[in-house]
Amino acid sequence: VRMTTSADTKKLTGAPADFTAFIAAELAEDKAKNDAACTEKPQIYVEKLDPAGWAAGGHFIPQCGGYASLWARTGGTWKEVWSGQTLTDCKTLRKYAFPVGIAQKTCLQGDSEIAYQP
């Protein structure tokens, strides 16, 4: 699901209300960043969501690029727990107990790519 406005969070069918509010706040935060070189509207993509507390997607600004993100509900609140342009480190996936269906099938353990197993 691609979102460019807070109203777009309605596209997240089946998502918990606290997640849609979190994504709307993330989008507002991205829009508040003032970068003269990046004049296009920021976008957030949610590719996978487990309503129990995990999601995968990314942030993107046309003409300026983006990065992948993993979000988790921790301590009763959603937060971004990882972002980057490489494979996620296995330690982060395990720390937040990401289900295999949300996390990538592989992760980085040191410099090695290994199969992710929670």
Report the distance separating Cα 23 and Cα 27, nearest Å. 6
The pLDDT, as a whole number, for residue 39 is 83
Query: CA 73: distance to chain centroid?
Result: 12
CB within 8 Å of 85: residues ≥ 6 apart = 67, 68
Residues 6+ apart with CB under 8 A from 12: 1, 3, 19, 20, 23, 46, 49
What pLDDT score does 24 carry? Answer: 96
At position 4, the amino acid (one-letter code) is T
pLDDT tops 90 at residue 71? yes
29-70 pLDDT tens trace: 988 887 778 888 899 999 999 999 999 999 999 888 999 999
